[in-house]
Amino acid sequence: MAQLYPFTDPRAADQTPPITIASGDGCWVTDVHGTRYMDAVAGLWCTALGWSNRELIDAAQAQMQQLPYYHSFKGRSIDVTDQLATKLAQITPEGIERFFFGCSGSEAVDIAVKIARFYQNGRGKTDKKQIISRHGAYHGSLTTSAGLTGLAYAHGGFDLPWPIRVGRPHYHGEAHSGESEAQFTQRLVDELEATITDHGTDTIAAMIGEPVMGAGGVIIPPAGYWAGVQEVLKAHDILLIADEVICGFGRTGSWFGCNTYGIAPQMMTMAKQLTSAYAPLSAVGIHADMYEVIADFGHQHGTFGHGLTYGGHPVSCAVALKAIEIYERMDVEATVQARGAHLAKRLERFKTMNSVGNVRSKGLIAAVELDPASGLTGAMVGAEAEKRGVFFRIIGDTIAMSPPLIVSDDEIDHFTDVLEDSIQAAG
Ligand SMILES: Cc1ncc(COP(=O)(O)O)c(C=O)c1O
């Protein structure tokens, strides 16, 4: 074994080798010993079209043959990358019209922060530098994006930058006793307002947030949360960056989490399902009004001084165009709403289990949170599920699910049955 494995205890990996995956089909993967697992998290919330989509493979192969590489620096561009930008402008929320391409979600977040600062400098707001993020957020692994990530495991030992943090909209876990959802939401909105005032409106460039928080535990915001947040940000002239890396391309039952929650962002970050994870690609969507300032300021500098050798790679863009074509053809919104309704129905049964504290879902992203008093841990349940051939994402006491969007009702029945058995067996 020669890898330093990501998000893995290196000493534990030295002793217990990882499950090594060799192939995949539909919602299933097979390890090097021939054991099949259903992956109820679509890898890392990303393989929306499963593991054996022939059209995506053919699109990659055809592009590899036609033009395996080019770039978009200094008066050059790539046909298929331009086509993807045009397509994204059609499907993203109103006003998001320009796109900058990277290779990963973390890069997209880092790029969005750079662009936020460039924009604020360009309009003469040179003190507006800081970014607000939320406790429990996951925004990636590079220096800036890991700094914005509000999870201790991504910070330990790395001396990362520490942004301004506000609370997350986790009503089940963090409401005061007797507090209604509406009161809880208002408390978070008031806290945001007070935090901005404390730091000084003129010091804050942007706030970043996932419409539904994924890796932090599938935190589904209560009604009114995003409306309240946007009102505060608007009043203080602070940009909103919607991190759509998990929610984008259908996950919550609309094309974007922004559509599901009525969010009108100035920037959005996208990756993962953009290519169904068949090739690395990310994009930062930029509002047309911001673009005007950026273009003028870039012109003053003689260039927009930012670029990545592999950003907007033609093979990845060809795959993304094909993935979007497939999402359109399968009517991804209606499909996810229908499968999501089935999943929500199947999850009902967990609400009556003593060991379960909370059950939540939106479209095809869901979580079963164990009751801490039960003595069960997510790791115990995850280990039982693994023995039964299903992968979930274990986040502390929370068992998260985000299956490929091509999942069938029968497959949803299978992984929810396995989860029920696993909770019982672990108890
Ligand atoms: C919301 C969100 N933003 C950013 C990232 C980082 O993406 P990547 O792992 O492609 O760098 C992730 C990864 O899970 C994510 O969930």
**Looking at the domain assignment, is residue 393 inside a domain?**
yes
Q: Which atom of ligand 1 is nearest to the CA of 105?
A: 7
Q: Which of 280, 298, 329 is the last residue of a domain?
A: 329
**Looking at the domain assignment, is residue 152 inside a domain?**
yes
Burial of 356 (0-12, 13-18, 19+ CB in 10 A): buried
Same domain flag for 126 and 27: no
Residue nearest to atom 4 of ligand 1 (CA): 139
Burial of 330 (0-12, 13-18, 19+ CB in 10 A): middle
Same domain flag for 336 and 351: yes
386 C-alpha to center of ligand 1: Å? Answer: 24
Cα Dmax for the chain: 65
69 C-alpha to center of ligand 1: Å? Answer: 25
Task: Report d(CA 345, CA 368) in Å as an integer.
Answer: 13
Q: Which of 294, 313, 329 is the last residue of a domain?
A: 329
Task: Report d(CA 36, CA 417) in Å as an integer.
Answer: 17
Same domain flag for 281 and 395: no
How many separate domains does the chain show?
2
Residue nearest to atom 13 of ligand 1 (CA): 140
Half-sphere exposure of 181 (CA within 13 A, CB side): 8
333 C-alpha to center of ligand 1: Å? Answer: 22
**Looking at the domain assignment, is residue 166 inside a domain?**
yes
What's the first-to-final CA gap in the chain, in angstroms? 35
Task: Report d(CA 194, CA 132) in Å as an integer.
Answer: 13
Q: What is the pLDDT of residue 395?
A: 97
105 C-alpha to center of ligand 1: Å? Answer: 4
Which ranges of 282-363 does DSSP label H, i.e. alpha helix? 288-301, 314-329, 332-347
**Three-state DSSP class for 255?**
coil
Among 7, 46, 139, which residue has the most ligand 1 atoms within 8 Å of its CB, making it the best to mutate? 139
Task: Report d(CA 14, CA 18) in Å as an integer.
Answer: 9
**Looking at the domain assignment, is residue 4 inside a domain?**
no
CATH number at residue 221: 3.40.640.10
CA–centroid distance for 129 within its chain: 24
b/e map of 218-249 (b: 16 or more CB within 10 Å)?
A: bbbbbeebbebbbebbeebebbbbbbbbbbbb
Same domain flag for 336 and 305: no
Residues with CB under 6 A from ligand 1: 44, 104-106, 109, 138-141, 210, 214-215, 243, 245-246, 271
Among 148, 270, 272, 273, which residue has the most ligand 1 atoms within 8 Å of its CB, making it the best to mutate? 272
CA–centroid distance for 287 within its chain: 20
Q: What is the pLDDT of residue 1?
A: 79
Q: Which atom of ligand 1 is nearest to the CA of 140?
A: 6
Q: Which atom of ligand 1 is nearest to the CA of 243?
A: 1
375 C-alpha to center of ligand 1: Å? Answer: 31
Q: What is the DSSP letter of 4?
A: -
Same domain flag for 259 and 144: yes
Same domain flag for 318 and 348: no
**Looking at the domain assignment, is residue 2 inside a domain?**
no
CATH number at residue 404: 3.90.1150.10
Q: Which residues pair with 394 in a beta bridge?
A: 399
Task: Report d(CA 369, CA 128) in Å as an integer.
Answer: 38
Same domain flag for 108 and 47: no
DSSP-derived pairing of the beta strands 267-270 and 282-287: antiparallel
**Looking at the domain assignment, is residue 209 inside a domain?**
yes
**Looking at the domain assignment, is residue 111 inside a domain?**
yes
Among 101, 138, 276, which residue has the most ligand 1 atoms within 8 Å of its CB, making it the best to mutate? 138
Same domain flag for 113 and 256: yes
284 C-alpha to center of ligand 1: Å? Answer: 13
159 C-alpha to center of ligand 1: Å? Answer: 20
Q: Which of 313, 329, 345 is the last residue of a domain?
A: 329
Residues of the chain with pLDDT under 70: none
269 C-alpha to center of ligand 1: Å? Answer: 9
Rg (CA), the chain: 21
Q: What is the pLDDT of residue 211?
A: 98
The domain containing residue 48 runs over which residues? 10-52+331-426
244 C-alpha to center of ligand 1: Å? Answer: 9
Name the strands in the sheet holding 393-395, side by side, starting at the edge strand that comes first in the sequence. 356-362, 365-370, 398-401, 393-395
Task: Report d(CA 298, CA 310) in Å as an integer.
Answer: 21
Same domain flag for 72 and 42: no
Same domain flag for 66 and 111: yes
**Looking at the domain assignment, is residue 206 inside a domain?**
yes
Task: Report d(CA 33, CA 314) in Å as an integer.
Answer: 35
109 C-alpha to center of ligand 1: Å? Answer: 8
Same domain flag for 195 and 240: yes
Residue nearest to atom 8 of ligand 1 (CA): 105
Same domain flag for 335 and 404: yes
Q: What is the pLDDT of residue 412?
A: 98
Task: Report d(CA 246, CA 48) in Å as an integer.
Answer: 10
